Amino acid sequence: MSKVWTALRERAEERTLDNGLRVCYLPKEGFGKTFAILATNFGSVDASFTFEGTRYDTPAGVAHFLEHKMFEDEDGNALQKFARTGASPNAFTSHTMTAYHFSCTERFEENLEILLKFVFTPYFTEENVAKERGIIGQEIGMMDDTPGWQLFCGALEGMYRNHPVRVPIAGSVESIARITPDVLYTCHRAFYSPKNMVLIVCGTADFDEVCRMAAQYSPADAPEIGERHYGERRDAVSELTVTRRMPVSRPQFMLGFKDVPLEAGESRLRRKLLGELAVRILCGDTAPLYAELYEKRLIGRDFDTDYTLIPEGAMALLGGESRDPEAARAAIEGETARLAHEGVEKALFDRMKKAMYGLYLRVLDVPEAYARQEATCLFAGEHYADFAALFDTIAPQDVQAVFARWAQRDRSSMSVVLPQ
C-alpha cells in the first residue's frame, strides 16, 4: 500500500506480512545514509500482562534488560558484526517501546539481515544474564546519582500512584536480581511477536527486497498479544510535591500536569500535537510567561517543556533550574488557570502553531528522527506525515479545553531537587 502527502512531497510504502509484521519504507532520494529501525510495542510499563492464559508480573526493568541482552547470540555479538560492515547500530528502551536500529552508507541488506536475525533469535543463559546484571546495576547506580533523572522520576512518582510509569525504566538493583533467562524468554515470546512489531526503513532501499528479507528472518509463528495491566486509574495526582536532596548548586524543579488518557477512537498523533502546542503556549521558550519568569530569574535557559502519552495516561512536564521553585510553580499554575478561563489570544495561537508546524516539518529531513516518530505512529495506526492535515483541525478552543483539564484541582504535582 502506498500513501502520498503531496504538499509535503513525502511518500510511504507499507505492507503487512503474513505473520503480522508491519513493514514501512520512507524513500529519501539523494540522502547519503539509510536508516532502519525494528521496534516492538513493549516498554517498561508492560511488566504485568496476561499471555497464553497465564498472568505474569515480571520484575521492574525487564524490557530494558532484554534490550541489553538481545545483541548477544550463540556465535558472537551483533555489535561486532555491524562493526565489520561499517554500520552504526544502537538501541533504546522507553516507557512504551523497545527499538533496535542502524544507519549505513553501504551494504544495507547485509546490515538488515544482522538486525533481523539478532532481534528475532534470542540467546539467554544463566551465565550471560548474571554478567548483564552487573553491567545494568552499574548503569542504575549512575542514574541514581544524576539529578536530572531523579527529578524526572520524582515527577512521575508524584503524578501516578499505581501506574507502572512511576517505576524507573531500568528497574532497581533488587528487581533485576530476579530477572532470569526464563523471564526473558517469556517476555520475548510475548512481545517480540511480529504482530507486535514494526520495521521502518528511511532512505534508499528496495522495498520488495526489504519485505522478502523480513519475511525470511522473522518467525512465521506469531502469538497473539495478551492483556496488559497498568493498575487502578486515578484522576488526581499521587503527591502534590516530591522532594529530593542531592549535590546540586541550584534548586531544580519539574512541574507535571496529569492529563486524561486517550479516548477510544481518538487520534494519538492529534492529541500529541494538541498537548505539545498547549505546553508551548503556556511556557515554551517564545511564550510571554517564559520571558516574564526568565527576567525574574525564576527559570533559566535550561528550562524545557514536553507532552507525553502513555497507555491509560498522559502528562505535560515543564522544568529546569530555579532560585524559587514554589514561585515558578505558582506562576505557571496561575497562567494555566487564566488560559483555561480566558482562552488563548489568536495571535499567540497562530504564532505558536506555525512555529511548531515548522519543527515537525524539519523532522522529515532527518531519517533517524523521522523513522523513530513513524514507529510510534504506526503502533497507533497512523503515519507521522499525517501531522500536516491534523494541524488544520486544531483551533484555539481545543487548546483552551486542554488548559481547563490541567487547571482542575489535584491535577498538578511538582518534583524538586534541592541542594544538600
Query: Which residues carry out catalysis?
Result: 67
Helix, strand, coil % in the chain, rounded to nearest 5 = 45, 25, 30
Show the cell assigned to 388.
500536516
Nearest-CA neighbor of 43 among 61, 58, 57, 68?
61
3-class DSSP assignment, residue 133? helix
CB-facing half-sphere around the CA of 99: CA atoms within 13 A: 24
276 in Cβ contact with 307 (< 8 Å): yes
Question: How many C-alpha atoms does 274 have within 13 Å on its Cβ side?
Answer: 26
Whole-number Å distance between alpha carbons of 234 and 313: 10
Other CB atoms closer than 10 Å to residue 84's CB: what's the count?
A: 10
CA pair distance 252, 244, nearest whole angstrom: 10
Beta-ladder partners of 309: 314
- Cα 196 vs. chain centroid, distance in angstroms? 16
Q: Which residues sit opposite 51 in a β-bridge? A: 54
Phi, psi of 152 (to 5 degrees): -65, -45
Residues 419 and 359 sit within 8 Å (Cβ to Cβ)? no
Instruction: Describe the crossing of helices 288-295 and 268-283 by its angle, rounded to 10 degrees.
Output: 40
Helix or strand run (H / E) with residue 227: none
Output DSSP code: residue 385: G
CB-count exposure of residue 119 (10 Å: 0-12, 13-18, 19+): buried
